[in-house]
Structure 1
Amino acid sequence: MRKLTPKNLTAALAVAVSFALPAAAQDASGPILFTNVNVFDGVNEALIENANVMVTDNLITAVSTEPLAVAGGREIDGGGRTLMPGLTDCHWHSMAANISGDVFAADVGKLNLVAALGAEKTLMRGFTSIRDMGGNVFDLKSVIDEGMYAGPRIYAAGAMISQTSGHADFRKPIDIPQSYSRDLTPQEGMGSVAIADGKAQVLQRVRENLMRGAAFIKLMGGGGVASPSDPLDVSQYTVEEIAAAVEVAQNWGTYVTVHSYTAKAIQNAIRGGVRNVEHGQMIDEETAQLMKETNTSICLQPFYDDEDAIPLPAGSFQEEKYQAMISGTDTAFALAQKYDLLFGFGTDSQGMPALAARQGAQLAKLSRYYEPWEVLKIATSQNYEIFKRSGPRDPYPGDNGVVREGAYADLLLVDGNPLENIDLIADPDKNFVIIMKDGVIYKNTIE
């Protein structure tokens, strides 16, 4: 059997989707008018009650409490349900979320085919946009954008860039030392990660990601939980190396974000010009203040020792790091609130399909800190403030994450009021009766 490679993967996916196109997708033959809906617009606490919303092609063309007429299209009576923007996840791993076990042991073919199936599941959970935080997702994004397969909009970082011994270096000690002109690891060859040391190598790997179509760049700026070699407390990359990546990204009109848990690593990244942080569970007061002063965003995850905790061997290096990391979760959320940081929600699910399926349930956990309307705002318009930092590299230029005239028609019709009961979003199969992305209805259980 011929082995799948990145070059022939798109063709393979095209064959796969010819047998698996979502039967629920309904292309609009004309305008769609939602009547009798209460609108959460993605920004404001108050619902727009008894509203009507017109969708023409892939855009919202009217939002009104006055009657609207639809000519040559269709009318959907919302029955007093809640119409809201599609949900978003600012830290998702398309290639890893639905693979069971060791993600780095899978070949490119399995990664992409499982990711394609997982993309439809993501959309059916009501997540119409995701920010992909590392991996060769460009073919997957292409088949979704071309309408060959159902899935969310993807803002892609491309390969995760790591220093030697960093969070994306999964080589074993027996694999080193290696020649300066070393061969690529299998994961590097597939475009999942890029190990780069020194300014020159960092510049090359950043430029390669941008050449592939990355909307932004991700560096591993500090220790991680799953990685085998790096302690959690270390900062990774020198200020000079980080600044080199930031300069190239800015030349392309976009930005660099860093994987960093600790105050030390985040401050190191900010000195290098980074203005976006992933995780940050171990920040302190000084770092939060610095983030506010520099307009540095943070994408946090509700990591706890609960039913969604990552199962790690008791007493292992990784389990010790996990416990240290989650001990700061409550403090990080409190500091993000205190300093009014630009805060985004993400899940970071990897290697656990059952956890990926709880994407909405994880979002609902933010009610520990926020009112329901604030939770929904974070996962709609507020996440999009981070997404839009891609500037001219934004693959979907235009307004999104909101229900207003001119915005993309990424919409959910919810059976109930999630502003009163945020747990509705934890059961999308039951409670999301219509799911629309880009003006196309992918789920409709009320007609």
Structure 2
Amino acid sequence: MTQIVLENARVFDGVAEECPEGMSVLVADGKIREVSDRPVRADEAHRIDVGGKTLMPGLIDMHTHSYFSDLDPRVLNDRDAPYRTAYAIKKLGHALDSGFTTVRDIGGGDYPLAAAIADGLIRAPRFFYAGKILSMTGGHVDYRTPNEKHHTHGYCSCASMNWAGVIADGVDECIKATREELRRGAHCIKIVASGGVMSPSDPIWMNQFREDEIRAIVQECAERRTYVAAHCLTSESTRRSVEFGVRCVEHAALIDAETAAFVAERGAYVVPTMACLFSLVEQGLEMGLPPDRMDGLRTVYENSMAGLEVMRSAGVKIAYGTDLLAGFYTQQTREFELRREVFTPLELLRQATSVGAEILMQPGKLGRVTPEAYADLIVVDGDPLQDIGLLAAEGRNLDLIMRGGEVVKNRLD
């Protein structure tokens, strides 16, 4: 692979507040090989003058759903795989153009999509996926309406599923479903541990899965040297999930101070998803969201900003996530604008880079500008430590995007 030297750069390394200027970064074989405050010797390298602009790690979105092309998840079963894949290609391409060089698909993403990305068939960010979401009967990913008696989709007689999830009840079924998703290449396992606003039969306050079921799933993941992420909206579901071994909580919009302190003490992570909530409240009805879901959605929305304040005060480790569905995916960088009401630009930059890498169990490889990290880099025209809004423009302020050492956008040459 051709060597590339990025010269005259102001570098944010993913962690440090100080951003040294006049830096050079050598990239070869998909990795960063050298970061120096002096000119790098590489006679055969292609040299790019960054012009004093900010070079930083590519962004990481820790909560995406690549196939979720409609607000009604039941519609997606009828659309089938070709339609969902076409949507995923468009959505993932937009993510890359917006500066996201890594995404975690936390429900629905699968091995075929990951393989197509790895083989270069799809223009997309680096791709981690949780496979099918695990739900109990009547849980957040059981999309049957109350008048339906039977599951209509399944890959075997022992577990039923729809396009996004697997229904598992009892320890044995939870173990089997976990092992099956891990066999299919899932990088982690996602469970639903509270009710939600997008499913027909579970109120938000409802805790889901028993303690023995959650602990069984956690143990299976531990044996595979990976982790469990859990959909939790309420404080109670968040606390019990973390207590039972869940490593990463998704949403936590209704979290209270006591629970936030507990999460911080246990060293667990939280991935809030503000952009999804705000976009659904603003445009959900016109995009086809059933009117009877709006009350619950507004309850979560009205408390979500307070939840961010509570978690920041408690010192919870927070990563960047969006959870954008259907046509809302074009607002992927809006999360920066929403969170800036609570967090400093430095905190937001860490959330979108090095903290996400920690959850993915890729510290030092992703989310950093350091030797031996993957060469997933962006160049920002300006200083995001002073104006985080530079990253909230869907890539318009990015002069260079590099993924795995491959330049996918370049306005510098």
Assess same fold via TM > 0.5: yes
Stretches of structure 1 that go unaligned for 5 or more consecutive residues are 1-28, 389-393
Match of 1:347 among 287, 309, 322: 322
How far did residue 123 of structure 1 move?
A: 0.7
Give the AA of the match of 1:108: A
Give the 3-state SS of the residue equivalent to 2:374 in structure 1: coil
Cα distance in 1 for residues equivalent to 2:382 and 2:35: 20
Contact 2:110 2:184 in 1 (8 A): no
Amino acid of the residue matched to residue 114 of structure 2? Answer: K
Shift of 1:188: 5.5
Shift of residue 191, structure 1, vs aligned partner: 4.9
Q: In structure 2, what is the equivalent of residue 421 of structure 1?
A: 387
2:261–2:316 Cα contact (<8 Å) kept: no
In the other structure, the counterpart of 1:81 is: 53
Please give the alpha-carbon distance, in whole angstroms, between the structure 1 residues aligned to 2:276 and 2:44.
Answer: 51
CA contact (8 A) 2:235 2:256 kept: yes
* Higher alpha-carbon deviation: 363-372 or 164-173: 363-372
**Counterparts of residues 242-253 of structure 1 (less than 5 Å):** 242-253=214-225
Determine if the alignment matches structure 1 residue 433 to structure 2 residue 399.
Answer: yes
Summarize the alignment of residues 147-186 of structure 1 with structure 2, pairs less than 5 Å apart: 147-176=120-149, 178=150, 184=153
Q: Which residue of 2 aligns with 1:333?
A: 308
Distance 1:303 1:211, change over 3 A: same
Offset at residue 363 of structure 1 (A): 2.3
Give the corresponding residue for 1:6.
none
Residue 295 of structure 1: aligned partner = 267
CA distance in 2, matches of 1:411, 1:442: 10
Match of 2:194 in 1: 222
Over 3 Å counting, the alpha-carbon distance change for 1:46 and 1:334 in structure 2 is same
Which sections of structure 2, spanning at least 5 residues, go unmatched? Answer: none
The answer to whether 1:260 aligns with 2:232 is yes
Q: Distance in 1 between matches of 2:53 and 2:175?
A: 50
Q: TM-score, normalised by structure 2?
A: 0.92
Q: 1:269 aligns with which of 241, 247, 262?
A: 241
Structure 1 Cα separation of the partners of residues 260 and 278 of structure 2: 26
CA distance in 1, matches of 2:152, 2:73: 21
Considering only aligned residues, what root-mean-square deviation do their CA atoms show, in Å?
2.1
Distance 1:310 1:111, change over 3 A: farther
Instruction: Select 2:12's aligned residue among 40, 50, 67.
Output: 40
**More moved, 142-151 vs 297-306:** 297-306
Name the CA shift for 1:407/1:328 in 2 (closer, same or farther; >3 Å): same
The 8 Å contact of residues 31 and 71 in structure 1, kept in 2 or not, is answered as no
Report the AA paired with residue 72 of structure 2.
Answer: D
Q: Secondary structure at the match of 1:48?
A: coil
Q: Is the 8 A contact 1:304 1:329 kept in 2?
A: no
Q: More displaced, 222-231 or 305-314?
A: 305-314
In structure 2, C-alpha distance between the alignment counterparts of 1:308 and 1:436, rounded to whole Å = 32
Question: What displacement does 1:288 show?
Answer: 1.3
Report the counterpart of residue 119 of structure 1 in structure 2: 92
Offset of 1:308 from its aligned partner?
6.0
Do structure 1's residue 360 and structure 2's residue 336 form an aligned pair?
A: no
| 2:257 and 2:311 in contact (8 A); partners too | no
Mapped contact 2:10–2:54 kept (Cα < 8 A)? yes
Spell out, residue by residue over 1:390-415, the C-alpha distance to the aligned partner (whole angstroms, 9 max, x if none). Answer: xxxx7xx9611011111110000111
Is residue 5–residue 48 contact of structure 2 (8 Å, CA) maintained in 1?
A: yes
Aligned counterparts of 1:30 and 1:270: Cα–Cα separation in 2: 45
**What CA distance in whole angstroms lies between the structure 1 residues aligned with 2:237 and 2:305?**
19
What is the rounded CA distance, in whole Å, between the counterparts of 1:233 and 1:278 in structure 2? 15
Deviations 1:173-223 (A, max 9, x none): 1212x4xxx653599566521011111111111111000001100001001
Q: Structure 1 321/101 Cα, relative in aligned 2: closer, same or farther at 3 Å?
A: closer
Across the two proteins, how many residue pairs are aligned to each other? 404
User: Is the 8 Å Cα contact of residues 303 and 309 (structure 1) preserved in structure 2?
Assistant: no
**How far does residue 164 in structure 1 lie from its aligned partner after superposition?**
1.1
Q: Against the structure 1 CA distance between its residues 363 and 188, is the aligned structure 2 distance closer, same or farther, given a 3 Å change threshold?
A: farther
Aligned-partner Cα distance in 2 for 1:131–1:285: 28
Question: What TM-score, normalized to structure 1?
Answer: 0.86
Aligned to 1:11: none
Measure, in 2, the Cα distance between the counterparts of 1:253 and 1:199: 20
Judged with a 3 Å threshold, the aligned counterparts in structure 2 of structure 1 residues 297 and 306 are, in CA distance, closer, same or farther, namely closer
Partner of 1:20: none
The structure-2 alpha-carbon separation of the partners of 1:197 and 1:338, relative to structure 1 and needing over 3 Å to count, comes to same
| One of 360, 365, 374 as aligned partner of 1:408 | 374
Query: How far did residue 320 of structure 1 move?
Result: 1.0
- Aligned to 1:174, the other structure's residue is in SS state coil
Structure-2 residue corresponding to 1:110: 83
**Cα distance, 1:304 vs. partner?**
8.4
**What is the distance in 2 between the residues matched to 1:304 and 1:132?**
15
- Looking at structure 2, the residues matched to 306 and 150 of structure 1 have their Cα atoms a distance apart, in angstroms, of 28
Which deviations, in whole Å up to 9, do the C-alpha atoms of 1:298-336 show, x marking residues without a partner? 111225875663534599431111111122212211121
Structure 1 segment 202-217 matched on structure 2, within 5 A? 202-217=174-189
- In the alignment, residue 60 of structure 2 is paired with which amino acid? T
